Amino acid sequence: MKISSLLNTRFWLLLFGSFFSLFATWGMLSGSIADSAPTFWSKSLSGFEIDMAVVNELTWAASSIVSGITAIAVALFASGAVRARIGAVVALSSGFVFPFLASGAGAAYGYGGLESGLPPEAIFYLAVPILTLIACVSKWNEGVPKKKGAGGRNK
């Protein structure tokens, strides 16, 4: 089996989208997001602050659902280089840029979340976006005709 077949953009975008959408939906419906929200802050929280922490985590989950649905739509409705390029942007922005910017901004207010270390599912949370990004970048020019001759003109 070739490594190229393992880096199937449709598969990785569907996995990325399913993972982000299903786990966030499960967390919202089960109440685990609301229950764990106060634990991500470095100090004791008042009742109002707990409510705000819950809202913060629920907003995070809702944005994960939207990112997941976007990845699934890209996987199903785009192909070739278009799927790879849009998929790379979705994986990079949703899997890395947004979480790190949001966590960094919250850190100034005591948002820590990971003082006790990464939970076991974090490996999957980090691996899926990384592999999705690698798959999409590796197929960046898939199906794009190669230019021939000087100045990119076909001869």
In a domain, 148, yes or no: no
Q: What is the pLDDT of residue 88?
A: 92
Q: What is the pLDDT of residue 69?
A: 95
Q: What is the pLDDT of residue 100?
A: 73
Q: What is the pLDDT of residue 45?
A: 85
Cβ contact 80:143 at 8 Å: yes
In a domain, 68, yes or no: yes
In a domain, 154, yes or no: no
Q: What is the pLDDT of residue 18?
A: 94
In a domain, 70, yes or no: yes
What are the C-alpha distances in Å from 29 to residues 9, 10, 25, 33? Answer: 30, 28, 6, 9
CB under 8 Å to 101, separation ≥6 — which residues? none
In a domain, 146, yes or no: no
Question: Which residue type, as a one-letter code, is found at position 18?
Answer: S
Domain count, the chain: 1
Q: In which domain, by residue range, is 76 found?
A: 3-114+122-140
Report the alpha-carbon distance of residue 145 to residue 155 in Å, rounded: 13
In a domain, 150, yes or no: no
Q: What is the pLDDT of residue 145?
A: 76
Nearest Cα to Cα of residue 98 among 138, 66, 55: 66
Q: What is the pLDDT of residue 25?
A: 94
**Helices 47-77 + 80-92 axis angle, to 10:** 170
Cβ contact 142:82 at 8 Å: no
Q: What is the pLDDT of residue 123?
A: 76
Fill in the DSSP letter of residue 22.
H
Predicted confidence pLDDT, tens digits, the chain (155 residues):
676 678 899 999 999 999 989 989 999 999 988 888 888 887 788 889 889 889 988 988 999 999 999 999 999 999 889 999 999 999 888 877 777 777 777 777 777 755 555 667 667 777 888 888 889 999 888 777 777 765 655 55
